[in-house]
Amino acid sequence: MLLALEKKLLAEVKSSATEGPVGAMTVMQIDRDHPSYGEVDGDPVTILGEGNRIGFSPVTLVRDEDGEEAWIPKRLVRNTDPRLAPIAFATPTRTAKARK
């Protein structure tokens, strides 16, 4: 999903000979140890880094639930909060306590 969106966005950007090649990264700051979370097109993503990219800047490096990573324009990443992880419903697990 993310790679297709990134490819579509790159195809829509018009080239400017003075700036450099469209899609080239000029600045990157990646922090995989302290991710934050958000949404792209309503789907939950993990935010791994920030950067600047010729054609649309600033950009955010995001990873979706399938493990796909892509640089997406920051304006398309919603509901970002570094403190909140995506909420997932899980069944509680019970552990048996040893009886004396």
Per-residue pLDDT of the chain (100 residues; tens, 9 = 90+): 888 888 888 787 765 545 677 778 888 888 878 888 999 998 999 999 999 988 888 999 999 999 999 999 999 998 876 666 655 544 555 555 665 5
Q: Are 84 and 17 in contact (CB under 8 A)?
A: no
Sign (positive/negative) of CA torsion 16, 21, 26, 30?
positive
Task: Read off the pTM.
Answer: 0.70
Residue pair 59/72 in contact (Cβ under 8 Å)? The answer is yes
Distant-in-sequence contacts of 17-24, Cβ < 8 A, 24+ apart:
19/54, 20/54, 21/54, 22/54, 22/55, 23/53, 23/54, 23/55, 24/53, 24/54
**Amino acid at the residue 44:** P
